[in-house]
Amino acid sequence: MNVQRVIRELRAMLKDAGLSGSFLVRDLATGDELGISPDVELPIASLVKVPLAVAVLERIQDGRIDGADVIDLPPGLIASAGQVGLSRFRHPARIAVEDLLYLSTALSDNAAADALFGLVPPAEVNHVLVDAGCTGITVRHTMRELTRTPARRFEPREAHLAHSPAIGSRTAGHGHPIPQLDVSRANSGTARACVDLLQALWLPARIPVAVAAQVRSLMGENVIRHRLTPYFSSDASRWSSKTGTLLNLRHEIGVVEHEDGSKYAIAALTESTVPAAVQPTAEAAMAHVARALHDQLRAR
C-alpha cells in the first residue's frame, strides 16, 4: 500500500479515537524511519524518568553516587498518590539509590523519581542529554511539579472536570494555561528526540555501555503494559519501554527486538480531546498506529 495512503488512514484512525499524535518508528540497523508529525513538541510527563535514570547511573559508574547508599523517605512526599509506589506508603522508608531507580523507571514511581532528582537536579539531567547528543528533550522540573495540576482537586469520578480545561487550550506555539502542559515550562520533547535517546541507549556511543545496558534492563522490566505492549510483546520479540501520562496526554516510547535480530525504536506521543481519565479506545488506537507504522517500515 502507498505510504502516503497509510499515513492518511492512520491519521483518520487517531482522529476517530479523539487523538492527535506525534509518532516515529526507526530501524536501528539502517536508520530508515516512518512517522506522523514526529517533530511536534509536547510535554513528556513520566518519559523524563529515562534520562533521569541515565544521569543517575552515570554518576554511580564514575563514583559520584554510591548505588548502595540509602535515602530516608517520609510519607507524603507527593500529595497526589499514584497507582503504585512510595506515594502510597503510610510510614517512613529507607531505600537504596539503585532500588529507587527500579521504582522510578519500571514502576513509574514519582516519589522515587523525585528522590533521584534530589541527587541529580533537572539542570544536570539536561547536561547529560546534551553530552549524549540528545538535544530535543528539555528537563525543567521534578515530578512534584508535574502532579500539581487541576486533577488533584477532584475525585476519580470527577476526572472529566480536570481534563476539560486541558483540552483545546493549547496555543499555536504549544503554550498552555496549565503550566505542566506548556512546552516552554514543562519537561518537553518530540517523538524524534525520544527515538534519538532510545538509539543512544540501544547503540551506545556517547552513553557509557554499562549505563546504557542498565537502562535497557530497567525499561525491559516496565510493569505498565496496557498501552503498546500488547502490540509488540510476544514469544518472538522483546518490548522494553517507558510510559508517560498526564491529564489528556498518553505517551509510550520503547524498542522492540525481534528474533531475527532486527530492532526498532518507537515513540508514540498523543493528546486526547476526550475529557476522561480512562480511554481504552485511545490506548488501542495509539498502539495500532505505532504497530502499523512499524509493520510498514519493516516490510520495505
d(CA 44, CA 117): 16
Residue 278 has pLDDT above 70, yes or no: yes
More confident residue, 266 or 170: 266
Read off the pLDDT band of 188 (50, 70, 90): very high
> Which cell is 4 given?
502516503
d(CA 207, CA 205): 6
Phi-psi region of 190 (alpha: psi -120 to 50; beta: other; left: phi over 0): beta
Looking at every residue in the chain, the average pLDDT score rounds to 90
Read off the pLDDT band of 154 (50, 70, 90): very low
Could you tell me what percent of the chain has a pLDDT over 70? 88
Residue 80 has pLDDT above 70, yes or no: no
Q: What is the mean pLDDT of residues 131-139?
A: 95
More confident residue, 180 or 137: 137
**HSE, side-chain direction, 13 A CA sphere, residue 292:** 22
CB 42 within 8 A of CB 174: yes
> Which cell is 81 given?
498518590
pTM: 0.92
**pLDDT confidence of residue 158:** 47
CB 251 within 8 A of CB 45: yes
